[in-house]
Structure 1
Amino acid sequence: MAIEVGATAPDFALRDQHGRTIRLSDLVGHEDAVNVVLVFYPFAFTSVCTDEMRALRDGLPALVADDTVLLAVSNDSVHTLRVFADQEGLEFPLLSDFWPHGEASRAYGVFDEEKGCAVRGTFIMDKEGVVRWTIVNGLPDARDLQDYVQALGAL
């Protein structure tokens, strides 16, 4: 069961495609905090995931501002994410939930135990780290970028 609107977002520490550790607690809950768009997707290089990441890349100016960051999480290794980011021109952080396998995905309630990967879950957190909007889709169902834009506009 995915975490719900109004819940405090679980903290995590995941490495990005460059090997840097990104912690949610470094981004929210303090004076210099930002809003966070956290996008879980199953795997790099798959058709729907690639299309979604391209849409985020192309729509980044509508999503990210001085007070908002986009983080995308998959169960791929850091090395796979580096190649994927380079190939697709993805400049936002791609975070690896590879090991312990699916730990962050499980904390957010979007890990599919049978498939061994995250389903398509998106969580928008305010600067205090409270979930203000969420959507969870099955593996084959892409999300609509405009829904994110509208949700951010309501913060």
Structure 2
Amino acid sequence: MAIEADTLAPEIELKNQHGETVKLSDFRGEKNVVLLFYPFAFTGVCTGELCALRDELPKFVNDDVQLLAVSNDSPFALRVFAEQEGLEYPLLSDFWPHGEASRAYGVFDEEKGCAVRGTFIIDKKGVVRWTVVNGLPDARDLNEYIKAIDAL
């Protein structure tokens, strides 16, 4: 069961595609966070979603908002994926312990061994304000994120 709105966001500490450690708490008091879980790099729907975010990046990475995209891929795979698709925002690796962050947010599919499409908008106090969880084949609507961010 995915974490619901008005819940304190669980802390996560993961490596990005450059091997740097990124913590959710790094943004507390500074920025709202769009925390986006996706199944795997290099897959069709995921690539489409992440490239759509790339194309609208000023709405998701600015003085007020930070986008963090999390998958169960290794940091090495994420680096190649980011370079190939021109993704400038942090791609975080929930590779080991496998799925730990995805499980903390209730979006890890034990059968498939990967995260489902869960998005959590977290305010500057670290509280989840908005969530959406879609099945593996279903892309999310970026306009819904923008509305939720604007409402903060």
Normalising by the smaller structure, the TM-score range is over 0.9
CA distance in 2, matches of 1:24, 1:14: 9
Find out whether 1:96 has 2:93 as its counterpart.
Answer: yes
CA distance in 1, matches of 2:23, 2:101: 11
Q: Deviations over 1:114-140 (max 9, x none)?
A: 000000000000000000000000000
Partner of 1:141, secondary structure, is coil
Moved more, 53-62 or 75-84: 53-62
Q: Give the unaligned 5+ runs of structure 1.
A: none
Find out whether 1:68 has 2:77 as its counterpart.
Answer: no
Residue 75 of structure 1 aligns with an amino acid whose one-letter code is N
CA distance in 1, matches of 2:90, 2:59: 17
Taking only aligned residues, the RMSD between alpha carbons, in angstroms, comes to 0.6
Residues 69 and 90 in structure 2, CA contact (< 8 A), matched pair in contact too:
yes
CA distance in 1, matches of 2:31, 2:144: 19
Equivalent runs, 1:109-124 vs 2, <5 Å: 109-124=106-121
**Moved beyond 4 Å, runs of 4+:** none
Find out whether 1:12 has 2:12 as its counterpart.
Answer: yes
Q: Deviations over 1:36-93 (max 9, x none)?
A: 0000000000000000010010011122320110000000000000000000000000
Query: What is the aligned-residue identity percentage?
Result: 72
CA distance in 1, matches of 2:146, 2:61: 9
